[in-house]
Chain A
Amino acid sequence: MSTLVLVPLLVPLSLGALLLLGSRLPIGLQRAIGLGGGLIFLAAALGLLVQSIQGSVAATLIGDWPAPYGILLVCDRLSALMLTLTALLACASLLSATDGTDTRGRHFHALFQFQVFGLAGAFLTGDLFNLFVFFEVLLIASYGLLLHGGGAARTRATLLYVVLNLVGSSLFLMATAMIYAATGSLNMAHLAGEFAGLEPTDAALVGVAGMLLVTVFAMKAALLPLHAWMVPAYAAATAPVAVLFAILTKVGVYALLRLLILLADVGPDQPMLAPLELILSLAAVLTIAAGSLGVVASARLRPMIAYLVMVSVGTLLAGIAVGTSDGLGATLYYLIHTTLTTGGLFLLADLVAAGRVQGGRLLIGDQRQSTRVLAPLFLLGALAVVGLPPLSGFLGKVWILDAVKAAAPVSGPVVWPWVWGAVLGSSLLVLLGLSRAGVLLLWRGRDGEPARLTVSPRSAAADRSRPGALAATIGLLTASPLLMLFAGPLTAYTLATADQTLDNNDYVAAVAALVPTSEAVSARSGGLQP
């Protein structure tokens, strides 16, 4: 029983409710409450991370109901890692919102806390139905946040996003019902045992449900045939919201990973699930290809970065589809890198766009003093995203490619050349696209000469007026060199996480070891056994 697991849920939930009631509070106080909540969340996430490094899986029963029936929260290494990433992004996003974005609509801080609540719940829950509920919580908050700031482009993007997600939710519920009908349980640790010894008819039902869930999570992760919502939404959102959304696609990747590990128990001879690995690898390759073409074709910086998110999701999936602990460790390292870096790039795009009439269109803009700060930051972010040494994207991509090649004896000789081709080709295309963007936006002057950087007091003052956004951008983008500097302990951690996640025994054992504290409840649970 661990109460620390409750903190990342209760803090955003209560602060969100408080902010909703106090929507007329002065904006300074709202910001303080929001940022305070973000910092408490970060502290709790780090606490859980330390706990998980020591090797223990923290779990707690809500309301003291026994395990397969009650609501339960489990925090293993993977959950702790995702929570910490969420917390870092949330703090950076809140910091950048203090420059005035949060006053462009109502209830920004309340919605933000609810979004964090939903994210934390999705990473902590040990129950398939509660995963659905937390998905809905984070989705409804994200609808509000996406609309924040108003405007026709945002409305249009949100309508598409909401309709697609509602269809996804319907499929999710149907799959959940099928799994319950086949196994009589929705507890993920419990399902791991149930899936192993299924009757053939039940196994077929679980196979269908599994494919439905893969579809739903692939949509959340923006894989190729189901990516239509992603680029308009990420390009239309205000910058702090886009930063937090950098974790949204990773929720889909996380859920997909957990699901694949569960489905592995059903057995590979199940006809519905047999081609799963091949389908996922194919989707990954196509997603990478489409994303890279999108990067090259973008006429604006924001959609370009949204396409970069798509490329990164494809790369992550290629690593997950390998199914070895080496591949998963590489994927998790790349996940940390790509989440933080793309978050930083979204903020940077907003800063670049701020001084320009055309709002971030790739045109030769007016050169400002800010270029002196922004251009090196853009260079740093671009190098990290493309995967050039000496930054973390390089290590992540090389490690994933290596793992894909190493798994060739198992996955067959077909998969790895395609993945290699896609990842390497996309790196080249992304390099071209980002070079073009950087040269046009930040380097070349009006007459084609390199821009001369002169200090003008007016633009310098304009820069100083957004210290929050600049600090958050620098914070997120310096993550990449730090990831490279501390690559030793980090890769050890992601490898251990991959082992624990794939093995699944710690998770199941931690849930099985949960016993309700009060005797009365234990007695009541006796009547529940059929």
Chain B
Amino acid sequence: MEWLFAVSIGLLTGCGVYLLLRARSFSVVLGLLLLSHAVNLFVFAAGGLSVNQAPLIGRGSPYADPLPQALALTAIVIGFAMIAFVLMLALRALNDLGSDRVDARRGDEEQ
């Protein structure tokens, strides 16, 4: 299971970085989305991977580390909100700048 997990994280990160380096804002947003998925999985894996173990302490049975799960949950919430924000911002930039290129030049001289 470990290799599958590691390969998934690697693939997601690779695709995310590739898309991030494109010059169109929609690709960049998709790249950020993939990257945040990769990060969430990565944080989740920080406590070690285990099957059929509840993140509950004190029942006698072996338990999964609950902290990375809580961290991943927080990271998911924040990442989701940020992606929503950057999507709206990209739409606004398309509207304001007349182009979806991240380095669009129009509007430089305006105050």
A contact set with B: CB distance below 8 Å: 69, 129, 133, 136, 140, 143, 147, 151-153, 155-156, 158-160, 162-163, 166-167, 169-170, 173-174, 176-178, 180-181, 359, 527-528
Total cross-chain contacts (CB, 8 A): 102
Contact A159 B93 (CB under 8 A): yes
**B73-102 CB contacts (< 8 Å) to partner A:** 74-75, 78-79, 81-82, 85-86, 89-90, 92-93, 96-97, 102
14 additional contacts (CB under 8 A) given A129-B71, A151-B96, A178-B46 = A152-B108, A153-B108, A153-B109, A166-B36, A169-B82, A170-B36, A170-B38, A174-B39, A177-B43, A180-B47, A180-B67, A181-B45, A527-B58, A528-B57
Interchain CB contact under 8 A, A156 and B111: no
Give B107's nearest chain A residue, CB to CB: A152
Q: Which residues of A contact B75 (CB under 8 A)?
A: 173
> In the complex, A497 Cα to B75 Cα: how many Å?
33
16 residue pairs A–B, Cβ–Cβ below 8 Å: A129-B71, A136-B78, A152-B110, A153-B108, A155-B89, A159-B86, A159-B89, A159-B90, A163-B32, A166-B35, A170-B38, A173-B39, A174-B39, A177-B43, A177-B71, A178-B46
Q: How far is the CB of A156 from chain B (nearest CB, A)?
A: 6
Structural contact, A167 and B20, CB atoms closer than 8 A:
yes
Q: What's the least CB distance linking A182 to chain B, in Å?
A: 9
Q: Interface size on B (CB < 8 Å)?
A: 41
Inter-chain contact B78/A155, CB cutoff 8 Å: no
B108 to chain A, nearest CB (A): 6
Complex formed: what's the CA distance from A178 to B93 in Å? 36
Query: In the complex, which of the residues A129, A136, A153, A527 contacts B107, with contact meaning CB atoms closer than 8 Å?
Result: A153
Distance of A135 from chain B, by nearest CB (Å): 10
How would you classify the secondary structure of chain A's contact residues: helix, strand, loop or mixed? helix
- A residues within 8 A CB of B85? 140, 143, 162
The listed residue with most B CB atoms (<10 A of its CB), out of A170, A527, A528, is: A170
- For A159, what are the chain B residues with a Cβ–Cβ distance below 8 Å? 25, 86, 89-90, 93, 102
C-alpha gap A158/B79 in the complex (Å): 18
Q: Report the separation of the CA atoms of residues A130 and B46 in the bound assembly, to the nearest whole angstrom.
A: 17
CB within 8 Å for A163 and B86 given contacts A152-B96, A156-B97, A527-B57: yes
- A180 near B86 (CB under 8 angstroms)? no
Which residues of chain B come closer than 8 Å to A155, judged between CB atoms? 89, 92-93, 96-97, 107
CA distance A430 to B63 in the complex (A): 60
A159-B93, A174-B39, A180-B67 known; A153-B28 Cβ under 8 A? no
Nearest CB in chain B: distance from A229 CB, A: 12
Residues of B with C-beta under 8 A to A163? 20, 28, 32, 86, 102
A133 to B71, CA, bound (A): 10
Q: Chain A residues near B106 (CB, 8 Å)?
A: 152
Whether A152 pairs with B35 at a CB distance below 8 angstroms is no
Q: Which 7 A-B pairs have the closest CB atoms?
A: A152-B107, A177-B46, A181-B46, A177-B43, A152-B96, A155-B96, A527-B58
Task: Tell me, in angstroms, the Cα distance from A178 to B43 when the chains sit together.
Answer: 8
Whether A162 lies near B97 (C-beta < 8 A) is: no
B11 CB–A CB distance under 8 Å? no
Which residues does chain B contribute within 8 Å of A180, judged by CB atoms?
A: 46-47, 67-68, 71
How many whole Å from B32's CB to the nearest CB in chain A? Answer: 5
State A136–B39 Cα separation when bound (angstroms). 15
CB contact between B42 and one of A147, A167, A173 (< 8 Å): that residue? A173
Given the interface contacts A159-B90, A160-B102, does A174 sit within 8 Å of B97 by beta carbon? no
In the complex, chain A residues whose CB is within 8 Å of the CB of B93:
155-156, 159
How close is A115's CB to chain B, nearest CB, in angstroms? 15
Shortest Cβ distance from A154 into chain B, in angstroms?
Answer: 9
Q: Residues of A contacting B68 with CB < 8 Å?
A: 177, 180
CB-defined contacts of B109 to chain A, threshold 8 Å: 153
Asked if B104 lies at the interface with its beta carbon under 8 angstroms from chain A, I say yes
**A106–chain B nearest beta-carbon distance, Å:** 14
Distance of A176 Cα from B46 Cα, bound (Å): 9
Q: Chain B residues with Cβ under 8 A from A174's Cβ?
A: 39, 42-43
Interface pair A151/B111, CB less than 8 Å apart: yes
Complex: A162 Cα to B20 Cα, angstroms: 13
For residue B6, give the distance in angstroms from its CB to the closest CB of chain A: 13
Q: How far is the CA of A174 from the CA of B107 in the complex (A)?
A: 36
Q: How far is the CA of A156 from the CA of B42 in the complex (A)?
A: 31
Chain B 12-54 interface residues, beta-carbon cutoff 8 Å to A: 20, 25, 28, 32, 35-36, 38-39, 42-43, 45-48
